[in-house]
Amino acid sequence: MHRRISKQMRNEWYWGWFLIAPTILGLIVLNIIPIFQSFYLSFFKSGDFGKGNVFVGLDNYRKMADDPQVWHAVMNTFLHALMVVPFSIAIALVLAVLLNGKRKGKSIYRTIYFIPMVAAPAAITMVWKWLYNSQFGLINVLLAKLGLPKVEWTSNPDIALVSIAVIGIWSVIGYNMVLFLAGLQEIPKDYYEASDIDGAGKVRQFFVITLPLVSPTLFFVLVTSIIQAMQVFDVIYMMIEVTNPAYDKTVSLVYLFYNNSFKYSDKGYGSAIVMLLLAIIMIMTVIQTKTQKKWVNYM
Amino acid sequence: MPANRFWPRMTAHILLIACAAAMFLPFLWMVLTSFKTVAESTSLNPFVVFPSKWKPQNYVEVLRQNDFLRLYWNTFAMMAIRVLCSILFSAMAAYAFARLNFPGRNFFFGLVLFQMMVPTQIFIIPQYLMVDAIGMRNTIFALVFPGLVSAFGTFLLRQFFMGLPKELEEAAKLDGCNIGQTFVRVMLPLARSGLVALAIFTALFAFKDLMWPMIVNTSSSAATLSSALAKIQSAYSVNYPELMAASVIAIWPMLLVYVVFQKQFIEGIATSGGKL
């Protein structure tokens, strides 16, 4: 059949192209080309005196495999995510369940929990660093009152990453909770009423009704939390200087990327590190979408 | 109230209050410390909770050493331009992706999705090199640059447009509106809550961003509040009362806006987060 393209259809095409043009042009210049450029740069060594980029083939990747800092960073990044993601999700979910329904003071609680989300991480980290201060920080002073020993929260290599994760959890609870509250509101009340009649306790209701039915929200929060936690930078940058004894045990992939690209100006090596981050995040995303079918119930 | 309902409720409130206290305490401590002298802030015996005199000496000092008016302006200009650009361009593209048929639609929308899946750090070095190449480092333009368009915003608003009923557009068409008029007069007003959500999301993200302004605007007169705090921290190192004063100066405007518009903030985040 001869397909005629009517004037009206053509008109719609032109409008479509016109409307997406700024966004698509912007995406190509700002994002798509840079992806290829980062990949390309990862085969070069940036000259010490600026312009001269020298092609080094796979040297940056070889260097990366032999660089203990890179392995530390991979390890720290995963450990950080392993601490932040489960705790922030569990606490947020419990709070959301407690707040769901007609809880007195619901909006006040919600407002307070959300405050860390609207403050700059640079400021937040500074006050936490002060709270963590080993000599004069509030936490150690209170520990001392209880007769407990002082803890080097930000410079003990075994503890610093936990201190960082605590800030991460604290910052994101309110955000996750707001998302969970929205998810919980979708669950029909009859389910709870029916199980009330059956005599099910609140804890059982949580596991049998709430958890399965909130699983789409849970999945969404899980995916975004993992990706966020894997890209941690601000808190570690503000808290741990390169000279900190806990640096090796806290440096994250993004912090390492920043240091190599902009502090030491080796943008080739920095690009190779960012490629590693890309690979890790892509693998995680694939795993998440594969396992999703096993436990997420879409109503 | 029957006794068997009382205790669960009390326990819930105690838990909720404990968490609220944990959320609030760091901010309280920030403000209290910002009014103390260094001696007070580091005196352990007796332990000082409140400053003996509520004198703004730390604020005076921090404001004297840093041009915060400039920082407010840089941050505000960056946020405002990013919000305007992302709303305008994202709404346009989102409407086309949601409602119009044209060749290449799926391919181009694929680009939008692809951008969202990639970690943002991968763009940073090339973006920096571009800004550097055109000699625009240490400008407001440099701060805005990565946020000129928004894949996330396009995706979010497309979801919004797809959720709107088609009848109104058809009515507009019958009234003789062309596609552009339908978009501006009918669809944009209907998507207002989506636009507000995107504006809040974009503004918050820009306000909190640390790495990009630090990289691209190294001169202190071109810094944002976030990147200036990082600088101030390395300059003052242990003078916590002054650091806390600087932090308070940096975050209070956003906190105030949040307290006034908290409903829009929380709903905006809930809708835009959930739509991702």
Cβ contact B105–A234 (<8 Å): no
pLDDT (average), residues A142-157: 92
Closest residue on chain B to A139 (Cα): B26
Q: What is the pLDDT of residues B220-241, one digit of tens each?
A: 999 999 999 999 998 876 789 9
Q: What is the pLDDT of residues B175-224, one digit of tens each?
A: 888 999 999 998 999 999 899 999 998 999 999 999 999 999 999 999 99
Q: Does A33 have pLDDT greater than 90?
A: yes
Closest residue on chain A to B15 (Cα): A95
Say which residue, B164 or B106, is predicted with more confidence.
Answer: B106
Q: How far is CA B19 from CA A91, A92, A222, B24, in A?
A: 9, 10, 21, 9
Contacts of B178 in chain A (CB under 8 A): 11, 15
Q: What is the pLDDT of residues A205-216, one digit of tens each?
A: 888 889 988 988
Q: What is the pLDDT of residues A59-117, one digit of tens each?
A: 999 999 999 999 999 999 999 999 999 999 999 999 999 998 778 888 899 999 999 99
Does A283 contact B at CB distance below 8 Å?
A: no
Cβ-contact A237, A124 below 8 angstroms: no
Cβ contact A98–B15 (<8 Å): yes
Q: What is the pLDDT of residue A4?
A: 66
Does A263 contact B at CB distance below 8 Å?
A: no
- ipTM reported for the complex, 2 dp: 0.92
Which of A3, A10, A18, A19 to substitute to test the interface with B, most B CBs within 10 Å?
A19
Alpha helices by DSSP H, chain B: 3-34, 38-41, 57-65, 68-99, 105-117, 121-133, 140-144, 151-162, 167-174, 179-181, 188-190, 192-208, 211-216, 225-236, 240-260, 262-275
Contacts of A117 in chain B (CB under 8 A): 204, 269
CATH 1.10.3720.10 domain residues, chain B: 61-275
List the 65-84 stretch of A: residues with Cβ below 8 A of B.
none
Candidates B134, B138, B135, B127; CA nearest to B70 is B138
Domains and CATH numbers, chain A: 64-295 (1.10.3720.10)
Q: What is the pLDDT of residues A1-23, one digit of tens each?
A: 456 678 888 999 999 999 999 99
**pTM listed for this prediction:** 0.92
Least-confidence region, from A2-6, B143-147, B160-164: A2-6
Q: What is the pLDDT of residue A1?
A: 46
Task: Using pLDDT thresholds of 50, 70 and 90, give the confidence band for residue B271.
Answer: confident
Say which residue, A204 or A200, is predicted with more confidence.
Answer: A204
Task: Using pLDDT thresholds of 50, 70 and 90, give the confidence band for residue A48.
Answer: low
Q: Is A57 left (phi over 0), alpha (psi -120 to 50) or beta?
A: left
Contacts of A35 in chain B (CB under 8 A): 118, 122-123
List the 114-173 stretch of A: residues with Cβ below 8 A of B.
114-124, 126-128, 130-131, 133, 135-136, 138, 141, 144-145, 170, 173
Q: What is the mean pLDDT of chain A?
A: 91
- Tokens 């919980």 -> residue: A184
Contacts of B100 in chain A (CB under 8 A): 12, 15-16, 19
| Rounded Cα–Cα distance for residues A163 and A156 (Å) | 10
Task: Using pLDDT thresholds of 50, 70 and 90, give the confidence band for residue B4.
Answer: low
Q: Does A299 have pLDDT greater than 80?
A: no
Cβ contact A121–B276 (<8 Å): no
pLDDT (average), residues B42-46: 72
Say which residue, A216 or B252, is predicted with more confidence.
Answer: B252
Q: Tell me the percentage of chain B whose pLDDT exceeds 70.
A: 96
Per CATH, the number for B61-275 is 1.10.3720.10
Closest chain B C-alpha to A294 CA, distance in angstroms: 21
Closest chain B C-alpha to A57 CA, distance in angstroms: 19
Least-confidence region, from A140-149, A234-243, B155-164, B260-269: B260-269
Q: What is the pLDDT of residue B97?
A: 97
Contacts of B243 in chain A (CB under 8 A): 126, 130
B10-27 burial code (b ≥16 CB/10 A, e <16): eebeeebeebbeebeebb
Q: What is the pLDDT of residue A130?
A: 94
DSSP chain A: -PPP--HHHHHHHHHHHHHHHHHHHHHIIIIIHHHHHHHHHTTEEE-TTSS-EEE-TTHHHHHHHH-HHHHHHHHHHHHHHHHHHHHHHHHHHHHHHHHTTT-TTHHHHHHHHHGGGGS-HHHHHHHHHHHH-TTT-HHHHHHHHTTPPP--TTT-TTTHHHHHHHHHHHHHHHHHHHHHHHHHTTS-HHHHHHHHHTT--HHHHIIIIIHHHTHHHHHHHHHHHHHHHHT--HHHHHH--TTSTTGGGT--HHHHHHIIIIIS--HHHHHHHHHHHHHHHHHHHHHHHHHHHHH----
Cβ contact B269–A178 (<8 Å): yes
Does A22 contact B at CB distance below 8 Å?
A: yes
Closest chain A C-alpha to B106 CA, distance in angstroms: 12
What DSSP state is assigned to residue B103?
T
Q: What is the pLDDT of residue B46?
A: 61
Closest residue on chain A to B43 (Cα): A136
Q: Does B1 have pLDDT greater than 50?
A: no
Q: How many CB atoms within 10 Å of residue A238?
A: 24
